[in-house]
Amino acid sequence: MNASGSPVPVERGPVEVLLSIQKVEKQFAGRPVLCGISLDVASGEFLTILGESGSGKTTLLRLIAGFEHLDSGEIRMAGERLDQIPAHRREVNTVFQSYAIFPHLSVFENVAYGLRAKSVARAEIPPRVTQALAMVKMSEFSQSAPSRLSGGQQQRVALARALVNRPRVLLLDEPLSALDANLRRQMQVELKSLQREVGITFIFVTHDQEEAMALSDRVALLRAGRLEQVAEPREIYGQPATAYAAQFIGQTNLLRAEVRDGIANAGPMAWPSAGPSGAATFSLRPEAIRLSSAPQGARPAGGTAHFHGRVQNQTFGGAMDLVEIDCGNSHILRARIPSPGPLVGQQEFEFAASDAVRVREGGGS
């Protein structure tokens, strides 16, 4: 499990691990949902748990919130066991996917709920609620009934209701999934700046890789209950650890190659590769492939691989065209090439050897 507990990026300086998940296992009716999850979350970090539905991401969130009990392993917050504390005594709050706004309470009372539950001094409640509502730009709706609010507004109330308690960790369970595309982008921006403003650790669950890329300091990619890779968005895109990670995040070409004497061979292509010899899989992003001006049949030199292939299909895509290249032997590569004009027949292509990233195949570990 190379991915687990991977170090928090250096440029963030010395960081304190706030939440530590160690070897967490969870089954539902004998079916494993989470298998040996280990993950450290730094204080003030925006971490996204990314995965398809059924990958166990919501279960992991519910374990942190305390709605489920783990089978084995442990979760610690600031060094102390969290998993044995009941949900209502954890310094963790959740923004629910369905928002779960209490329909029988006003917006104000919804936000005040947590403060009242924890017996915060009476006089302190109104200013804190007001401040929280202002933070999410919902001040004017303070006395409204929840049923009068739009989905986006309910979302904001849910956020204020959680943040007003000043939790150490805020959990967000696909909070944007019910919003339409425009509102969703706007909320992403606001969410990110809100997180910087309050400095609270956010753990955000989503199945949308673009959202994960846009928001997070780090992304934890979950697949069938196992962590596939934990890394910064740029790293997970540029250096995917596994074939799954490469395919799930962005588009990619997977090249099944044979590595011998530091050279990788896949069909008509060959490029230098430092890794061990034998069969290997490489991920090559479509935008890494360029039209080449070098002479035909050039061999790997200066870290650039050249190949030729027949353009099978070309789809206009504005700034970039999507080009399908048939390299023979049923090798089809997809390339994204900036405005090449119509391409016909055999063409020469190239890519930098460093863009072909060696990835692991198969399951998560």
Q: What's the min distance (Å) between Cβ of 121 and another protein?
A: 15
* Closer Cβ to another protein, 169 or 191, answer by number: 169
Q: What's the min distance (Å) between Cβ of 202 and another protein?
A: 15
- Could you say whether residue 178 binds another protein (CB under 8 A)? no
- Could you say whether residue 250 binds another protein (CB under 8 A)? no
334 contact partners, CB below 8 Å, separation of at least 6: 251, 253, 286, 322, 323, 324, 325
Tokens encoding 8 = 């928090």
Site string for another protein, 111-130 (x = CB under 8 A): --xx--xx------------
- Could you say whether residue 92 binds another protein (CB under 8 A)? yes
* Closer Cβ to another protein, 178 or 224, answer by number: 178
Pairing status of strand 201-206 against strand 46-51 = parallel
Cα 54 to Cα 64: distance, rounded to the nearest angstrom: 17
Cα 251 to Cα 262: distance, rounded to the nearest angstrom: 27
Cα 52 to Cα 9: distance, rounded to the nearest angstrom: 25
- Could you say whether residue 174 binds another protein (CB under 8 A)? no
Phi, psi of 356 (to 5 degrees): -85, 105
Out of 81, 89, 137, 260, which residue is the one contacting another protein (CB under 8 A)?
89
Burial string for 33-68 (b: 16+ CB within 10 Å, else e) reads bbbbbbbbbbbbbbbbbbbeeebbbbbbbbbbbbeb
Out of 98, 150, 193, 339, which residue is the one contacting another protein (CB under 8 A)?
98
* Closer Cβ to another protein, 8 or 171, answer by number: 171
Contacts (CB under 8 A) with another protein, residues 22-81: 65-68
- Could you say whether residue 201 binds another protein (CB under 8 A)? no
Contacts (CB under 8 A) with another protein, residues 143-162: 161-162
Cα 268 to Cα 265: distance, rounded to the nearest angstrom: 8
User: Could you tell me if 162 and 95 are in contact, meaning their C-beta atoms sit under 8 angstroms apart?
Assistant: yes
* Closer Cβ to another protein, 98 or 251, answer by number: 98
Binding region for another protein (CB under 8 A): 65-68, 86-89, 92-94, 96-98, 100, 102-104, 113-114, 117-118, 161-162, 165
